Homo-oligomer: A and B are copies of this chain.
């Protein structure tokens, strides 16, 4: 019974279902997220959804990935500092959004209780995090960063103060917070920290 047409209508249905999934997730949270609710919001039949996605986790992963792909790209300003500030500004924008708060709140609360959901949100965060890799590679090529810079450690250092604030104080973030994160991360790099474990440990 699989549809043969894969052109315009199929793409429109997919976009509508993914958008409805994000809206339901933000509005109702993960516990209340249902294929029924998504289908109703998207104006399609449940069977249309089940034909394409195995379950709501798979659908949520797809929706989050799609949303992320469509909203951010890796900056390329010619300077590692400016690139990192631009990228971290986009992290701030995400964490200030209803979707970003839903993702972070969900992953924190679901840990130890819902591995599929943790996996879905972690894959979203990992996909977003991959944007930092080309920035770091270009920074290394320009001689701004050591060749053994640990991309994951740098990303964690950029993100951590922002996540910490979101979780503990719940305050809105702004460009000042992004700038502070970048300044601390670059100070750490210049002090010989944030290097891959196999080389150049400073302690």
Q: Which residues of A contact B (CB under 8 A)?
A: 101, 104-105, 107-109, 111-112, 118, 122, 125, 153, 156-157, 159-161, 163-165, 167-170, 179-180, 183-184, 187-188, 190-191, 193-194, 202-203
CA distance A156 to B125 in the complex (A): 22
A108 is contacted by which of B108, B160, B191, B202 (Cβ under 8 Å)? B108
Chain B residues with Cβ below 8 Å from A165 are 156
Chain B residues with Cβ below 8 Å from A112 are 101, 170
Chain B residues with Cβ below 8 Å from A163 are 160, 163-164, 167-168
Chain B nearest Cβ from A24, distance in angstroms: 18
CA distance A160 to B161 in the complex (A): 5
CA distance A191 to B81 in the complex (A): 15
Chain B nearest Cβ from A164, distance in angstroms: 4
Query: Quick one: given A111-B170, A163-B160, A167-B107, are A191 and B183 in contact (CB under 8 Å)?
Result: yes
Considering only CB atoms, which chain B residue lies closest to A185 in the complex? Answer: B184
Contact yes or no, B193 A188, CB < 8 A: no
What's the number of copies of this chain in the assembled complex? Answer: 2
CA distance A101 to B112 in the complex (A): 10
Chain B nearest Cβ from A111, distance in angstroms: 5
Chain A binding surface SS class: helix
Chain B nearest Cβ from A50, distance in angstroms: 30
Query: Quick one: given A107-B167, A112-B170, are A193 and B203 in contact (CB under 8 Å)?
Result: no
Contact yes or no, B183 A187, CB < 8 A: no
Considering only CB atoms, which chain B residue lies closest to A108 in the complex? Answer: B108
Contact yes or no, B170 A164, CB < 8 A: no
Chain B nearest Cβ from A96, distance in angstroms: 13
Considering only CB atoms, which chain B residue lies closest to A122 in the complex? Answer: B168
Chain B nearest Cβ from A188, distance in angstroms: 4
CA distance A105 to B202 in the complex (A): 33
Contact yes or no, A193 B180, CB < 8 A: yes
- Which 5 pairs show the lowest CB-CB distances between chains A and B? A108-B108, A109-B109, A187-B191, A160-B164, A160-B160
